[in-house]
Structure 1
């Protein structure tokens, strides 16, 4: 019985060593890229959470004269409110509809109700339950601003989330 031996040259050892180094370099690069991606995603999540918290702090929505549909610019904020209600099923809110003093008392009560219902319906479309939302209209009875100026009227045409 004979023994066979295998020898390697210095070049083969160097190639194996280089291959191992190249692999660990790739592993380190991949790990660094994964860490960078995880950090980027974490920053995005934090930014999203800050934006949602700011949106939830927005609780007054204004309306144009004699209009019961909320402004398109409020859609994203209201969608966040709807999703927040969906995620917190025990939470209850009251939507208080208001109008400026122009128009009859009865008309303004109805307009305030339509405004509150407009927001309620959008919250429901975005996940809230009807059982979580109470609507009430105060019409012109609880103005946010006094005076007979367009600035005062604008502040009084609103729905407040309470």
Structure 2
């Protein structure tokens, strides 16, 4: 019987310990910190510099196109042939688009004729192209002319194939 009386107080002790050691609920976790927003440095774009660079690139392309223009003439003539009007209109277009373009038109001749005659013919050819461009609305102050006569042939030779390539005007954008 002693054991009966002993079990009851021991059970009470264990029960009180179990109740007294009851775990408290954990507090709720703190709210997450607000997301970190990286402030990106402001990049200032100098639009005038971009526009200037784009203009310079377009100007260089336009000058290159002008420099590729060559027109050819019939023997002992300075009249602009119809088939080369498109070349001249291309030069006019670029000069209208870019007012800073100035050109030099170089007139050339084949080897036939005297040096003095060929210099004069080369000048007439360059002036014919200049007049065409001026008639299309470009100021003559933007156009220089030069005659090389027979001094700078495009093709060496003493035949019509060479001569036809040497009777020409070449355009150089400045």
Shorter-chain TM-score above 0.5? yes
Between structures 1 and 2, the one with greater helix share: 1
Q: What do the CA deviations read for 1:63-118 (whole angstroms, capped 9, x no partner)?
A: 01000012111112212311321222111111000000100100000000000000
Q: CA deviation at 1:58?
A: 4.4
Provide the TM-score with structure 2 as the length reference: 0.59
Q: Is the 8 A contact 2:70 2:87 kept in 1?
A: no
Provide the TM-score with structure 1 as the length reference: 0.63
Q: CA deviation at 1:57?
A: 6.5
Runs of 4 or more above 2 Å deviation: 55-58
Decide whether aligned partners of structure 1 residues 133 and 156 sit closer, same or farther in structure 2, where only a CA change above 3 A counts.
same
Q: For residue 86 of structure 1, what is the aligned residue in structure 2?
A: 96
1:149 to 152, 156, 159: 159
Alignment of 1:6-155 (within 5 A): 56=66, 58-155=68-165
Aligned residues: 111
Larger radius of gyration: 2
Q: For residue 30 of structure 1, what is the aligned residue in structure 2?
A: none
CA distance in 2, matches of 1:78, 1:116: 12
Decide whether aligned partners of structure 1 residues 73 and 67 sit closer, same or farther in structure 2, where only a CA change above 3 A counts.
same
Decide whether aligned partners of structure 1 residues 153 and 141 sit closer, same or farther in structure 2, where only a CA change above 3 A counts.
same
Structure 1: 5+ residue runs without aligned partners?
1-51
